[in-house]
Amino acid sequence: MELKAIGDRFRYRMFRQDGLARVGEIVTPRGVIRTPAFMPVGTVATVKALYPEQVKEAGADIILANTYHLMLRPGAERIQRLGGLHDFMRWNGPILTDSGGFQVMSLSQIRKITEEGAAFQSHIDGSRHLLSPERSIEIQCLLGSDIQMQMDECIELPAERAQVERAMQLSLRWAERSQRAFEAEKVKGRAREGQALFAIVQGGTDATLRKQSARALVGMDFPGYAIGGLAVGEGQEAMLATLEETLPELPEAKPRYLMGVGTPEDLIEAVRRGVDMFDCVMPTRNGRHGLAFTWNGRVNLRNARHAEDLSPLDAESTCPAARDYSRAYLHHLVRAGEYLGSMLLSWSNTAFYQQLMAAMRAAIAEGRFESWAEETKARLARKDG
Amino acid sequence: MELKAIGDRFRYRMFRQDGLARVGEIVTPRGVIRTPAFMPVGTVATVKALYPEQVKEAGADIILANTYHLMLRPGAERIQRLGGLHDFMRWNGPILTDSGGFQVMSLSQIRKITEEGAAFQSHIDGSRHLLSPERSIEIQCLLGSDIQMQMDECIELPAERAQVERAMQLSLRWAERSQRAFEAEKVKGRAREGQALFAIVQGGTDATLRKQSARALVGMDFPGYAIGGLAVGEGQEAMLATLEETLPELPEAKPRYLMGVGTPEDLIEAVRRGVDMFDCVMPTRNGRHGLAFTWNGRVNLRNARHAEDLSPLDAESTCPAARDYSRAYLHHLVRAGEYLGSMLLSWSNTAFYQQLMAAMRAAIAEGRFESWAEETKARLARKDG
């Protein structure tokens, strides 16, 4: 695919700050990412139960794909031979790939973490693999993703401080190796100008470790910084406290990405503290389980109270799934386990998350984020379902 | 929903006959059905894995819905309270409903067929129900379907002649009761002018019984006639032989519907013998299982030979699923068990079946059905996958 000449560099521009919340844009050769941005998750090269056109029309500028899944099936070399991930899955906007490390640790059957990397067996066919920081970068370059992530060690919380520190230090060494590997890929011509490698701040919920991690990574000068290892069971309060300690350490001129988060309320609170990017399976996974996100709170469509409700999820939505189908019909589809139920609710939720980000961007741009956030959180708390 | 004033009567018009093949139209208050017509199956008020707009755009004029499934969930009275099946599932064209009888016999757990009807337990929750010819018509009127089917007894083949005859005779008596019940619904105002009740010819593969059934039903003057009890294991040859014996008994001025059929080759051979309407789960069910129908034969996308094939299923198709996605990507989606694989292949197959019917209508209209059929059957036999 020919890239439009939007610019050959990767750059972040902040338009306005309102409190700590930031509205801006990331410019990549494949398109502009309006921030704060929510990235729908396309785990195995498809945002589950959605056509790529629907993801785009919902307002997503960028999607995330998972290195772990794609390296196992269909394989990174195969995707490269087929012209790269964008053409393969018919998504011509920017794609962010994770390093694969997190899912090696959460999904693979047998794994051994060493200084070198993570040895594991595929959860699909038991085949043996070694994922190192260098191999992760190589895979992400073969996929052709626009934003790549360093490999890190992400441990479950709560954990002993010594263990958190060890994983954080290992992640720092892997950050250096990832950066060197990424530069080497550029020399080899397999990474191009305008692709970016993000570092990942680790350190659990320990403020000292987080600051230490952030400072070391900032010293290495990455084009963007992620906060990893949160939303793994520590609770919203601890997560937000950790953000408050960590974000001030990160440069204003670079985008900040909170990995794997979260609920609409999480997104609002994280944006309030200065986060620019998010990804989460929640809109699609919950959609497949019959749960809809709306401006008036969550709606559990399995609930019998919807059985004869002719109203749609949101009569004012621009998304046909939210606007044109009755709750009674959605209830029926969910109860019957029909594809169309998952399709409609994943679509509606994906659109809702994008509308939420658009509303946040507008509120920040107009300097009314705080009042918007309070009002919206009150509406979202209605739990109308 | 307001019905457009296309006409308040149900009527069939044949435009041209080419050999025994017929091209024509059925006019209903909800729209025109171009014949020969293939009806996508929307078992539980959704054509599986498709949006209603896609079914329409694929070229379907009418869909089928299953009385058995809908009476159990969400219930016919509930659908009636919600405004009828058309509004419920957002399909404003004609809908044909079956009687429920066939699926009572194939799906329900415990059943007892008596003169009165079929007593059975739901396969969903074990609840007890009696489906009689009168209750079936009542349900179909509550659903608001445009073409309704009499209840019949459909037995598995092969079967003893005596058993086939007994079921055929019972089906004749049920046809009379269905017709009386349908007239009674009109008096009650629950059926309206323009809705039609079709009779079902039974008799297994026994020519004498088929003729006897057909003649008796024609004597009762129904607006359309179905051939039931075929495609239940008797083989294509026996099915076509039975059609050849049965169809000449049916009036030229009424539509003929072959229930539950079939493969593209079955459709061509049945149209060649004078059938006007079909329904089958094959395009969607096979799509969910990774099998695509194309003009060059069946393509099994699970097959490893597609893993790096960048060509689409059909570059010249008007259906985006067939035209815009590579076989390599479809192969990946099918192997990974992804929703999008089922969605794309159900869509492509549904569109293909409609294109097949459109091509048959054009060939008949132009008096070249025989040569078209021979050519097309040769192409379809390539089994390219």
Strand blocks (E) in A36-149: 37-40, 63-65, 95-97, 111-113, 118-121, 128-131, 147-149
SS3 A75: coil
Choice among A99-108, A316-325, B143-152, B323-332 with the minimum mean pLDDT: A99-108
- Tokens describing residue B330: 């479809």
pLDDT at B157: 85
Asked if B325's CB is within 8 angstroms of A74's CB, the reply is no
Reported as type and span, the H/E element at residue A104 is helix A101-107
Is A46's CB within 8 Å of B338's CB? yes
Chain segment B327-377, per-residue pLDDT in tens: 999 999 999 999 999 999 999 999 999 999 999 999 999 999 999 999 999
The pLDDT tens digits for A11-45 are 999 999 999 999 999 999 999 999 999 999 999 99
Looking at the complex, does the CB of residue A340 fall below 8 Å from at least one CB of chain B? Answer: yes
How many other C-beta atoms can be found within 10 angstroms of the C-beta atom of residue B8? Answer: 11
Q: Taking the CB of residue A304, how many other CB atoms lie within 10 A of it?
A: 8
Q: With an 8 Å Cβ cutoff, is B329 touching chain A?
A: yes
Q: Measure CB to CB from residue B308 to each of A48, A81, A340 and give the nearest one.
A: A81
| Other CB atoms within 10 Å distance of the CB of residue B361 | 23
CB contact under 8 A, B338 and A83: no
Per the prediction, chain A carries an average pLDDT of 95
**Neighbouring residues of A376: CB distance < 8 A, sequence distance ≥ 6:** A268, A295, A356, A359
- Which positions in chain B touch A328 (Cβ < 8 Å)? 74, 82, 88
Cα A340 from Cα A365, distance rounded (Å): 37
- Cα–Cα distance list, B314 to B24, B293, B320 (Å): 28, 10, 10
DSSP-derived 3-state class of residue A128? strand
A88–B45 CB contact, under 8 Å: no
Q: What is the pLDDT along chain B (385 residues), one digit of tens a residue?
A: 444 444 579 999 999 999 999 999 999 999 999 999 999 999 999 999 999 999 999 999 999 999 999 999 999 999 999 999 999 999 999 999 999 999 998 888 778 999 999 999 998 999 999 999 999 999 999 999 999 999 999 988 889 999 999 999 999 999 999 999 999 999 999 999 999 999 999 999 999 999 999 999 999 999 999 999 999 889 999 999 999 999 999 999 999 999 999 999 999 999 999 999 999 999 999 999 999 999 999 999 999 999 999 999 999 999 999 999 999 999 999 999 999 999 999 999 999 999 999 999 999 999 999 999 999 999 999 866 5
> Chain A: nearest CA to B340, how far in angstroms?
5
Entry pTM: 0.97
A339 close contact with B: CB closer than 8 A = yes
Residues of A in contact with B328 (CB under 8 A): 74, 82, 88
Which of A336, A261, A349, A342 is CA-nearest to residue A298? A349
Interface contact A81, partner B, CB < 8 A: yes
Q: How close, in Å, is residue B238 to chain A by CA atoms? A: 35
**Which of A98, A146, A266, A276 is the catalytic position?**
A98
pLDDT band for position A4 (cuts 50, 70, 90): very low
Residue of A nearest to B329 (CA): A88
A46 interfacial to chain B (CB closer than 8 Å):
yes
Contact yes or no for A260/A229 (Cβ under 8 A): no
pLDDT of residue B111: 84
pLDDT of residue B385: 53
Closest partner residue to B74 (CB to CB) among A83, A88, A332 is A332
Residue A338 and residue B307: Cβ atoms within 8 Å? no
Helix (H, G, I), strand (E, B), or coil: what is residue A335? Answer: helix
CB contact under 8 A, A44 and B332: yes
Query: Rounded to a whole number, what is the distance in Å from the CA of A325 to chain B's nearest CA?
Result: 8
CB-CB under 8 Å, A340 with B48: yes
Closest by CA to B295, choosing from B193, B376, B201, B183, is B376
Catalytic residue selected from B61, B152, B266, B279: B279
Contacts of A75 in chain B (CB under 8 A): none
Token pair, residue B192, equals 């309206």
Nearest to A74 among B46, B51, B307 (CB): B307
B304–chain A Cβ distance below 8 A for any pair: no
Q: Which residues of B touch A51 (CB under 8 A)?
A: 340, 343
* B340 with A78: Cβ contact below 8 A: no
Asked whether the bond before B158 is cis by omega within 30 degrees of 0, the reply is yes
Interface test mutation site (partner A, options B53, B343, B345, B346, max chain A beta carbons within 10 A): B343
Q: Which of A190-194, A218-222, B14-18, B245-249 has the lowest mean pLDDT?
A: A190-194
Query: CA-to-CA distance for A244 and A287, rounded, in angstroms?
Result: 31
Q: Which residue has the higher pLDDT, A367 or B6?
A: A367
pLDDT band of residue A208 (cuts 50, 70, 90) is very high
**What residue spans of chain B are helical by DSSP H?**
52-57, 67-72, 76-81, 85-89, 101-107, 133-143, 161-188, 207-220, 236-246, 264-272, 282-288, 320-323, 327-335, 339-365, 369-380
C-alpha torsion angle, residues A41, A149, A79, B346 (rounded to 10):
0
Q: How many CB atoms lie within 10 A of CB B223?
A: 18
> Is there a catalytic annotation at residue B146?
no
**Residue in chain A nearest B79 by alpha carbon:** A308
CB distance from B244 to chain A under 8 Å? no
* CB-closest option in A45, A89, A308 to B81: A308
Check CB contact under 8 Å for B343 and A340. Answer: no
B51 touches chain A (CB under 8 A): yes
Which helix H or strand E contains A25, and what residues bound it?
strand A21-28
Task: Determine the pLDDT at residue B384.
Answer: 63
Active-site residue identified among B61, B98, B146, B152:
B98
Count other C-beta atoms under 10 Å from residue B16's C-beta: 14
Bridge-based pairing state of the strands A256-258 and A225-227: parallel
Q: Which chain B residues touch A338 with a CB distance below 8 Å?
A: 44, 46, 48
Q: What angle do CA B159, B164, B170 make, to 5 degrees?
A: 145
* Residue A3 pLDDT > 50: no
How far off is chain A from B330, nearest CA to CA, in Å?
10
* Residue B343 forms contact with A (CB below 8 Å): yes
Binary contact (A342, B339; C-beta < 8 A): yes
Contact call for B339 and A335, based on CB within 8 A:
no
Q: What is the pLDDT of residue B54?
A: 98
B279 included as an active-site residue: yes
What is the side-by-side order of every strand in the sheet holding B31-35?
B11-18, B21-28, B31-35
Which residues on A lie below 8 Å from B63 (Cβ)?
A: none
Counting every residue written for chain A, the total comes to: 385
Contacts of A83 in chain B (CB under 8 A): 310
Q: CB-hemisphere CA count at 13 Å for A265? A: 17
The enclosing H or E element of A177 equals helix A161-187
On whether ipTM exceeds 0.85, the answer is yes
**Distance from the Cα of residue A331 to its chain's centroid:** 29
Residue numbers in A near B78 (CB within 8 A): 307-308
Q: Which residue of A has its CA nearest to B43?
A: A338
Average pLDDT over residues A165-185: 98
